[in-house]
Amino acid sequence: MTRILLIEDHAANQELMVYLLEAFGCAVSTAGDGEKGIEAARSESPDLILCDLQLPRKNGYAVLSELRADPVLRTIPVVAVTAFAMVGDRDRILGGGFDGYIPKPIDPETFVSQVLSLRAGNFRQSPGPR
């Protein structure tokens, strides 16, 4: 079972993503701000982290850099899920060190397959943006 930590402050988005991921058999935990997200990553060591960029207390870039600075947590893939969808945002996000990028609003039909294609094992076999 894939264990996913979802860091997202928008309740409706959080509910929809949890619903979809659980429907496909993932175990999902949630955090509503960046600091709680880092705490949850430490206590749960998830297989994959989905992280919003605009978050209270610590934004997604700060969360990512803290995870990457931690010797235990640095190998966990972190995927940005964000409403930033302007030209160049994808490159900026991947260039910033995220392992992948899923634009919001999410597409319920394809969201889970997008996530699972980025989970730990698969990702390590095909690193880097395509």
Q: Which residues bind Mn ion (CB under 5 A)?
A: 9, 52, 54
Residue nearest to Mn ion (CB): 54
Residue 81 CA to residue 41 CA, distance in Å, equals 17
For residue 7, what are the β-bridge partners? 31, 51
H helix intervals, 5-130: 11-23, 34-44, 60-68, 89-95, 111-116, 120-125
CB of 1 to Mn ion, least distance (A): 27
**What per-residue string of b and e applies to 90-103 under the rule 16 or more CB within 10 Å gives b?**
beebbeeebbbbbb
CB of 93 to Mn ion, least distance (A): 14
Between 59 and 123, CB nearer to Mn ion: 59
Between 48 and 51, CB nearer to Mn ion: 51
CB of 73 to Mn ion, least distance (A): 21
Let me know if 123 is exposed, middle or buried by CB neighbors in 10 A (0-12, 13-18, 19+): middle
Between 65 and 113, CB nearer to Mn ion: 65
Between 6 and 26, CB nearer to Mn ion: 6
CB of 65 to Mn ion, least distance (A): 18
